[in-house]
Chain A
């Protein structure tokens, strides 16, 4: 049982569940206290000691049935009691060479015990190292060999003969013989089943690991639907990590000057002794974001994930207002306020009230934005434009982009195209980049997350009328 468990833990690890040694030990210890044969208890105990996060739980739900319930044994038949005790007597008195131990177990202990023994012996035969399907039957053969199953027919005959000597009737002998033969056949099937399942298990474990790492680096344009779903999970995790990191930074950053008033007030409790010193909290203003996302077919995956990530991080920014465009601009902030992130992103990409199938025209987009939404931009805002800059040879209106930049605190452009393509064909990037504070290539989730992270973590140096300490100056103490 120990080895089965350790093996299961290794399987979990190769599927990305980080199980530590102490957790494995806990698991082994707790098995002493529960009834292992109770499937529900066994499963609960394993889950409680090995699985600590929601993602791990999904992996556990998948792998537990594969590993532990792979081979379900049919109902075992028991011999009549007096025959069973006779059999036991005979086997105990016989020498060890006459009857191999596994055979004894099969005869006396019944099918489940023998199957457990078989699965234990499965460990040394190279099941873990299987790489080719053909090895499966080889492994099954090795297990049978280990149990000494080729000698069992002869052993069975000997047993029946001994029983006859002890006075068992021919019908009883036949009954025993049938019973044990059935058990042997079932066991052989169970072994084959087990090997097959192990083989199938190894395949998904290997597949899944490679999926995650690749996915993060895969360029947005080439994602399949299934990968998009998987990405959503990755985005959620990334958002959480960034959020945690952000709150940690915030805590460390707290530390201003001594606030005399409050310190003195607290000192009253101690008769005037300043036991506790209170500092002013340095006000850290959060960034305001305005996001303009190109949702034409070439770019819309990048936009989707950008919006997803931004909204998952809603709390870190003071306001996020987002707009989508093709050749007209539509605001989608409301979708994110009313619906859950995933649903909202879908709506933004289909229901923003702009014609989605026109040709992208950055010029008129900037024009409309300046005309209708210019007031969303002020000197505390960071404006992010996501697009490939391909404006179908329409007039680029770069001077409007310059106006936006002058008004905002920062203007950043994220381009999902590889740098080498910027400026080729109808791409007006070479014009636009002159007016941006920062232009970045943003082709996969890793680059996008890195950008959002730096966005969230940069604090706003106040550009308001600052005293020399960088704080808004006020004449009172």
Chain B
């Protein structure tokens, strides 16, 4: 457990995840309040990594649920392993036959089976999916629900229910309560408005692109062996390219990729030609590349 926002920042840094004080404060607040943390922001800014580093820095397991359109309860919570049940039934056919041999009527046979129903509807035959795994875990865990804005509104309503009480009712077995409340992190690209109910339940963090100094520190940390001047140039160019009229402004992961590719190319300094040839690591859409190419000379100067 962390003792203060500075502690959060420090332990994240040990794992090579550099974040601002604001981010560390919000993470700390969410943990202390035992509320889920909703991280919203553009793609590639470190949202998923935040959850990963949160788990690693506390030595906890990370359970990940990736959301997509059409994700429903069975795939998120639990499923009955029908195939296994059928298999067992087949194998135990003889035994079942013996059990029912003494029955005189059909109704009695059904009653007898119903009594033993829990043999086939026990937790043995439940296939736990991420949410149930997190709830039933014997150790505390970090639950990452990634890209929750890609899921349907119905799924959000269901999620709301699970996140409020951290218990699941399986009709055949009963209510399964959480032994440890997991630390929940939800990420969203803000492509769609998340329902109010879910938002209010969470502590909210807007993760935006870092400012140049922070970005320079991140690049220097993640890519050892890169020269200072090059880092500063890189960061300056990226900051200039990040404009709101681009379809996809470059994020930190793109900056890092670009820096790595420059290192591989043994570029000590940045010039127009290098920028032109490596531009597609940074900017992914053709229309964006065209826009940026027009201003290439100014960027490097």
User: Which positions in A face B, CB cutoff 8 Å?
Assistant: 20, 22-23, 26, 29-30, 33-35, 40-41, 44-45, 47-49, 51-54, 57, 240, 243-244, 248, 251, 269-271, 273, 275, 338-340, 343
Contacts and interface: CB of A to CB of B under 8 A. Distances in A.
A48 B193 contact: no
B35 interface: yes
Contacts of B154: 251
Nearest to A343: B245
Interface stretch (B25-33, B56-64, B176-184, B275-283): B25-33
Interface stretch (B92-100, B196-204, B256-264): B196-204
17 contacts: A26-B33, A34-B5, A34-B25, A34-B28, A40-B25, A44-B22, A45-B29, A49-B29, A52-B202, A54-B190, A54-B206, A244-B193, A251-B152, A251-B154, A338-B287, A339-B245, A340-B245
Interface in B1-59: 4-5, 21-22, 25-26, 28-30, 32-33, 35, 38
Nearest to B90: A271
Contact of B32 (A30, A47, A240, A244): A30
Interface residues of B, number: 32
Nearest to A35: B4
* Interface SS, A side: helix
B204 A52 contact: yes
B103 interface: no
B85 to A, nearest CB: 9
Given A57-B206, A244-B192, A33 B200 contact: no
B83 interface: yes
Contacts of B199: 52-53
B27 to A, nearest CB: 9
B86 interface: yes
B238 to A, nearest CB: 20
Contacts of B33: 26, 29-30, 33, 49
A20 B245 CA distance: 35
Which one of B82, B153, B199, B200 has the greatest number of beta carbons of chain A within 10 Å?
B200
Contacts of A52: 38, 199-200, 202, 204
Contact of B25 (A45, A244, A339): A45
Contacts of B190: 54
B29 A48 contact: yes
Contacts of A244: 153, 192-193
Nearest to B244: A340
Given A48-B205, A248-B153, A33 B83 contact: no
B287 A48 contact: no
Contacts of A22: 200
Contacts of A243: 192
Interface string B195-228: 0000110111110000000000000000000000
Contacts of B82: 269-270, 275
Contacts of B86: 270-271, 273
Contacts of B22: 40, 44
Interface in B110-148: none
B29 A20 contact: no
Closest 6 CB pairs of A and B: A44-B25, A48-B26, A52-B199, A33-B32, A44-B22, A30-B29
A264 to B, nearest CB: 16
A51 B193 contact: no
A248 B28 CA distance: 36
